[in-house]
Structure 1
Amino acid sequence: MASQLNELKIIGRLERVHFPEWNLTNINAKVDTGAYTSSLHCHHIQPFDRDGERYVKFNLLDPSHDTYIDDKFELPICRTKTVKSSNGSTEERYVVETRVELFGETIKAKFSLTDRSEMRYPVLLGRKLLNGRFLVDVSQKYISQEIEEKKI
């Protein structure tokens, strides 16, 4: 057990992540061990069918964000998920799979798409992505950025 813990990277309560498939870098992410699935801030989320498969098209982030790109992205829907927010309301979300980079490691992960414009951070990293890879030190933030800067 102790050797497994030694192999896990320490992550702070806030980190910067990259989405290489979408050419997005240094996106602020909140680490949330209370959330099972990670989520991503999107708008204009629209499901559609293509060749008998369910897809979703969406814009990442929103025009007020520094790295906003006014492109529509289209991905297959992995599943839908009913999510209960911290204020008690429920929402049906589409879940997609993409790659996220953190601590120089590229991870294939599932993200639910939602409007996080009222939230401070556009990305939320949940337990499914964190489990077996990271230990969370809530007293720290942006540890991955410090490590990347030391490499330069």
Structure 2
Amino acid sequence: MKKFIIGRREKISLPEWDLDMISSKVDTGAYTNAIHCEWMEEKEINGKKILEFKLLSPKHRLYNGKLIQTEKYSQKKVKNSFGGAELRYKVSTKVLMFNQEFETEFTLSDRSKMRNAILLGRKMLKGKFIVDVDETNLSKKHKASQP
């Protein structure tokens, strides 16, 4: 499979969550992807466990207030950027980059103190991308160059 070159920051789309061309930080030191989430709630609906959540901060320019519900989620112990262990919800969705769509996982995390609402980790990058730290937004430039 051809590997795409990406920069240290990339614009990605998450079509199932109605987020288009959202800025994300590429972090080869992180294993999993993370996305900013300030509100999440586990519920039982018709005997099934459901996770409801809203992504991003209401202050974020791409915040859409969409209530997302999923039965496909789990909890994962993650080492946060300060070295402490945290229990986070993990959900799956499709990511669109370079006109390619692939399934990947995100942990729901408070990234309010971080510059980027999304962090892309090694698990998603492996086998698909090569990181060039001199560059940014190569997937967006690729989209613009398409006929």
TM-score range, shorter chain: over 0.9
**SS of the residue aligned with 1:92?**
strand
What is the TM-score with the length of structure 1 in the denominator? 0.89
User: Residues 46-61 of structure 1 correspond to what in structure 2 (within 5 A)?
Assistant: 46-61=41-56
**1:49 Cα offset (Å):** 2.7
1:51, distance to aligned residue in structure 2 (A)? 4.4
- Normalising to structure 2: TM-score of the pair? 0.92
**1: CA distance, partners of 2:87 / 2:45:** 21
Distance 1:101 1:137 in 2: 19
- 1:143 has 2:134 as partner: no
The aligned counterpart of 2:75 is: 80
How far 1:123 moved relative to its partner?
A: 0.8
Counterpart amino acid of residue 64 in structure 1 = K
1:123 aligns with 2:118: yes
Number of residue pairs the alignment of both structures matches: 147
Instruction: Return the offset for 1:77.
Output: 4.2
Question: Separation in 1 of the partners of 2:46 and 2:20?
Answer: 32
The aligned amino acid for 2:4 is K
C-alpha separation in 2, matches of 1:118 and 1:51: 37
Deviation at 1:71, TM superposition (A): 2.3
Structure 2 residue matching 1:145: 3-state secondary structure: helix
Match of 2:35 in 1: 40
- Which residue of the other structure, out of 60, 65, 68, is the alignment partner of 2:63? 68
* 1:133 and 2:143 correspond: no
| Gaps in structure 2 of 5+ consecutive residues | none
Preserved contact between residue 93 and residue 114 of structure 1 (Cα < 8 Å): yes
Aligned residue for 2:29, secondary structure, equals coil
Q: Percent identity?
A: 39
Q: Which residue of 1 aligns with 2:17?
A: 22
* Aligned mates of 2:59, 2:87 — CA distance in 1: 25
User: Could you tell me which amino acid in structure 2 is paired with residue 73 of structure 1?
Assistant: I
CA distance in 2, matches of 1:74, 1:13: 31
Q: Specify the code of the residue in structure 2 equivalent to 1:137.
A: D
- Unaligned ranges ≥5, structure 1: none
Q: 1:68 to 1:132 in 2, by over 3 A?
A: same
